[in-house]
Structures are given as C-alpha cells and as structure tokens.
Amino acid sequence: MREVAVIGVGMTKFGELWDMSLRDLFVEAALGAMKGAGTDSIDSIYVGNMSGGQFVGQEHLGPLMADHLGLGGVPATRVESACASGGMALRSAYLEVASGMSDLVLASGVEKMNDGADVTGVLATASDQEEEVYYGVTFPGLYAMIARAHMEKYGTTEEDMSWVSVKAHRNGAKNPHAQFRRVMSLEDVLTSSVVAEPLRLLHCSPVTDGGAAMVLCPLDRAHEFTDKPVKILASGAATSSLTLADRADPADLDVVELSGNRAYEMAGVTAEDIDVAEVHDCFAIAEICCYEALGFVEKGFGKDAAREGITDLGGKIPVNVSGGLKSKGHPVGATGIAQAVTIIEQLRGEGGEVQVEGAKIGLAQNMGGSGASSVVHIFQGV
C-alpha cells in the first residue's frame, strides 16, 4: 500500500442554513478543498451521507454531486454508515489512494437536516427497527440508557456530563464554523430542559446543515500541491451490535475501543502519543465513554476528565477543540470529515484561537448509531 496524505480541506459554516441546498453545501466544501489543494482535477469522489433520501428526498448522490461540482464523468459514490458516514467516506478514499487505483480523491460529507423532515424519525433508522424503534426508543433514550449504565458502574453524575458541554461551548465560541458560538455555564447546562433523563438539552448535539471535504493523494506527490501536507497514519474501523441491549456492557463503547486499537496498531502509536483529538460527542456521555475506549483515561475515570481540565485546551489531551458535535454542530453525514478537517488544521498550525501548541499527531473518531459502527483515523504533520 502507498502512503497517503491530505493536501486540501474545505468546510461550510454549520447551522440552520435555509438559503443553501444539499448540493450547495457539498459544492462549497468541495471547491474549498480543491482550492486548498491547488487542483481542479479529481480522479474519484466519495460522498458521506446518512439519509439524503428522507431528509430532502434525494438519493443517488454520487452523480448528482459530481455533476454540480462540474466533474461529470468522474466516478462518485455515496457512503452510508449512519452518523459515521463521513468517516467511512474518508476511509474509502484513503483505501483507493493507498491501493494505487487513483491519485487524487475527494472525500466529502454532507447533510441537510433542517428542511422539514421528522428528524427524530429519520435518525431512528440508524437503530434497530424491530427491537428498539417499535417500542418507542429514540436516540436520546438510547444514550440516556448508556448514561445510566455508566452512572451505575462508575458513579458518573449529571454534573460530570455537564462539564463536557461547558468545555464544548467554550471551544465552539472560538470556532467561526460553529453552529452555537456561545459560552455556557455549568448552571446553564444543569438547568436546561430534560430530554431523556438523565440527559438534558445541553447534553445533546443539535440538528445541523453542513458540508466538509478534503483531497487526498499519494504522500510522495503531496508537495506538488501544498507546503503543508498531513499524512494519514492509520484508518481503523469496527462494528458492534446494532441493538444496545445485545451489548455485553452498555457503559463501554466496545466498537470505539476496537476501531481505536486497530488504528493505533496500524500507526505504530499509543494513546499517549496523541496530541489532539476530535471524538464523537453526539451526547455528552458519548464523549466520556470515548475518553475511556480510546485509552485517554482509564476505565471509570472518563467522568473526571472534562471537570479536571484533562481534555481541555492546554490539558494533557485536548479533545474537541472545535466545539465538537455539541457546539460546532452535527450534520450527520458531514461530521466525520469535519472532525478530520479540524485535526488537519491543528497539525498545520492553523487552529486559530484553539491551536494546540506543538501538535504533531492527531486522532479523529466518528461513530454511527448508539455505537454500532466506529472509524478512527490518525494523522501526522509532515
């Protein structure tokens, strides 16, 4: 396999973008990535998208997006893995370049969620219809069960989860792409309305429109396009049971641990080597579980990480300096690419107000459903 580098990135603003369509979001992000790479030539396109069919009535996204980008004829494929669609699109693009099949591949993700669809119902398609949805369980409900299991096993409290949200908004307030650029106090979080006990509104990610993209090429060609290439050290993926009740321990995200371990092994690094990370905080409890599953803290100590500043900017392992899904926003098909874009910017020293000083190795972890799929990428500046 060839070594692979990221040579250009692009991302739209995230939020309720009423004046932009699904294709508009894709084209803006893709053109940004191609401009950054200094190329108008692409060999192949991957589009991460969870549910364009239900959100905006549009399937067959590959050729649609290629056409509107002005690249008709280029092979283009939609990739779906629920909220991990973007990360899996990046993995697909990485494998195509690494295999030698193509030299310039566009990895993208896009979702338009605010055009009137039943968002809760659409998102529920990423859970088990027969064993969960039929009985009325929603994703806030599933993650509330994960939170309750973590509380029972490790003594996690509602305040512990709330510190994750406080950190997210403190970082997101400094991110020009973020949906919610406002600081939230601990009291703000703890007094927000209950969504699914013990989860409150400010423990939950919002409904978001947005797109993100990046251009990949062989590492040995990267300097033809940019002075700041970033190498993809590893891509690790895994699945677990779709149904939460079928997991051995709902308090532990086994899929994240497995995908992370595969990425660490491939990259030849450990959790101790990671300087900055973006993890899938669709709900505050998910970030706490990811801390543990990725080895940033020992099992049972995830609840302490945000409160003690371990994962804050300037802490031992800064996590979600972008504001994460909670503050930056969560356009489900775009999230995995957006996470990677943040890491690329960090490793290039382009993180702005949330730059992690001396960051050399970064990790992006993207998850689907209640932990049924996960993909982890590890990057290094070169």
Residue 102 pLDDT > 90: yes
Amino acid at the residue 31: L
Distance CA 25, CA 17 (A): 9
The one catalytic residue in 150, 177, 203, 330 is 330
Number of structural domains the chain divides into = 2
Residues 251 and 198 in one domain: yes
The one catalytic residue in 83, 282, 289, 290 is 83
Tell me the CATH number at 47.
3.40.47.10
Tell me, yes or no, if 83 is annotated catalytic.
yes
Task: Give strand ranges (E) for 93-140.
Answer: 105-111
In the beta sheet, which residues pair with residue 235?
377
Task: For residues 175-180, give the mean pLDDT.
Answer: 97
State the average pLDDT for the chain.
Answer: 97
Residue whose entry in the numeric block shows the structure tokens 């020009």: 176
Give the angle subtended at the CA of 305 by the CAs of 11 and 237, to the nearest 5°: 50
The pLDDT > 90 percentage for the chain reads: 99
Residues 195 and 214 in one domain: no
Residues 264 and 326 in one domain: yes
Query: pLDDT (tens digit, 9 = 90+) per residue, 282-293?
Result: 999 999 999 999
- Is the residue at 331 inside a domain? yes
Task: For residues 20-43, give the mean pLDDT.
Answer: 98
In the beta sheet, which residues pair with residue 301?
none
pLDDT band at 89 (very low <50, low <70, confident <90, very high): very high
Residues 111 and 147 in one domain: no
The pLDDT > 70 percentage for the chain reads: 100
Distance CA 76, CA 87 (A): 16
With b for 16 or more beta-carbon neighbours within 10 A and e for fewer, the 311-343 pattern comes to bbbeeebbbbbbbbbbbbbbbbbbbbbbbbbbb
Residue 117 pLDDT > 90: no
Residues 44 and 72 in one domain: yes
Residue ranges making up the domain that contains 22 = 4-118+208-224
Query: Number of C-alpha atoms within 13 angstroms, CB side, residue 235?
Result: 20
Residues 162 and 212 in one domain: no
Residues 274 and 366 in one domain: yes
pLDDT of 116: 81
Residues 274 and 293 in one domain: yes
Task: For residues 289-318, give the mean pLDDT.
Answer: 97
- Is the residue at 312 inside a domain? yes
Distance CA 143, CA 147 (A): 6
Distance CA 171, CA 169 (A): 5
Task: Give strand ranges (E) for 153-201.
Answer: 194-196, 199-200
- Is the residue at 126 inside a domain? no
Q: Mapping DSSP to helix (H, G, I), strand (E, B) and coil, where does residue 253 land?
A: coil
